[in-house]
Amino acid sequence: MQRLIALFSLFFFLSPGVVMAETTLADSVDALAPQIDARVLEWRRYFHEHPELSNREFNTAKVITKALEDMGMEVWKDVAHTGVVGILKGGKPGPIVAIRADIDALPVEEVNDLPFRSVARGEYRGADTGVMHACGHDTHIALGLGAAAIFAELREQVPGTIMFIFQPAEEGAPEGEEGGAFLMLKEGLFERMKPDAIYGLHVWSAGNAGEITYRSGPLMASADGFQIDIYGRQTHASRPWGGIDPIVTAAQVVMGLQTIASRQVNVTKAPSVVSVGRINGGIRGNIIPDHVEMLGTVRAFDPAMREDIKRRVEHTAKTIAESQGARAEIKWEFGYPVTINEPALTERSVKVLNKVVGAEHVSQSDLITGAEDFSFFQQQVPGFYFFLGATPVGQDASMAPSNHSPMFFVDESTLPVGLKALAGLVAERLENP
């Protein structure tokens, strides 16, 4: 009887009419991810305790490099100063997919009471400062390395190549230096190897742990800084008619700039922000100076509108100044472009997220007026960027200390969710090119 059962079983297995279920890469990723969680937690705590400022991430890069090399990857070092790129070539032919993780910290002194609290110091604009991963990039590094560890274990099952891009200086390069995604691309990263798609995420306190938010199309704004110098003619404040008052002129310019977003551009197409954050002029209350300096920012969600607003800012400042007999000069510091999630990639990515973490934990984000240099990568290849909640479940996320705060806190229960989401997106893209 046993021999008969064995023969029947063999026939059943070999019968051409019977199709055995094949384990997909996504299934393997989902099964392996929990085994990597402990390593992700360890990496996250190490990098949190040892943060480094933009373009100064020397130890961070060294640790990342060692981890990737231990996984058997080809590693490109010193990309855009301190960037690291790990290359995993799978056992099967297929597309090239990239994951990006930013690695720099901020000049912020941590006040959280954690066993791995940062006590690091650094130099920022010539001054000694505390250094903290106050924006969660320590978490991004850990999740990037966690995804690398998963796919390194599954290398022979991987159909294609994965680029693990650990990018420095997302928070902005020091004055007088270049850095970040822009410099990586300028140095030819995507000329050396260009992915078919790129993924990135950001932990943030405005969401609870384990919750994911996304948006198709424009997600985060472009960010451009401006400096407007108003030149008048100095006089005593008791006889203002004897000069040209740049302070009054600057006040009129501020009010004029507010009409750009509210009256001059199509608010039904996309929102925009024009803000003046600093005005500096004069030294005494009874002296009208000859010069006022104004600093501000422009945020937009449409590339064409971004250019249009720039033109309107210049026109408004110059014509108002001329009407008062003064002169205005404008300097621009063009920052990050609009972060735009490619619609088709977003659609398929959301299906993966719904499956991996549950549709009840995935929702659409509002537009975000913050900026992100992941957008430079998205200008070159289709990209999908999403947010991972960091505030403990049960707490009001709207009241949590924001990213960049010395009290910014990441609930580590969100790490397994982020790892499964990030690795799951890559697996789906590789298997369905």
3-class DSSP string for the chain:
CHHHHHHHHHHHHHCCCCCCCCCCHHHHHHHHHHHHHHHHHHHHHHHHHCCCCCCCCHHHHHHHHHHHHHCCCEEEEEECCCEEEEEEECCEEEEEEEEEEECCCECCCCCCCCCCCCCCEEEECCEEEECECCCCHHHHHHHHHHHHHHHHHCHHHCEEEEEEEEECCCCCCCCCCCCHHHHHHHCCHHHHCCCCEEEEEEEEEEEECCCEEECCEEEECEEEEEEEEEECECEECCCHHHCECHHHHHHHHHHHHHHHHHHHCCCCCCCEEEEEEEEECCCCCCEECCEEEEEEEEEECCHHHHHHHHHHHHHHHHHHHHHCCCEEEEEEEECCCCEEECHHHHHHHHHHHHHHHHHHHEEECCCECCCCCHHHHHCCCCEEEEEEEEECCCCCHHHCCCCCCCCCCCCHHHHHHHHHHHHHHHHHHHHCC
Question: Torsions phi, psi of 49, nearest 5?
Answer: -75, -20
- Taking CA atoms, 184 is separated from 8, 47, 62, 83, 134, in Å, by 60, 22, 18, 8, 23
Q: Which residues contact 138 (CB under 8 A, 6 or more apart)?
A: 44, 47, 48, 51, 105
Determine the Cα–Cα distance for residues 420 and 433; give it in Å rounded to an integer: 20
Structure tokens at 318: 């110059």
Radius of gyration of the chain (CA): 26
Q: Which residues have a catalytic role annotated?
A: 336, 412
Please answer whether residues 250 and 292 qualify as being in contact, where contact means their C-beta atoms are separated by less than 8 angstroms: yes
8 Å CB contact between 291 and 229 = yes
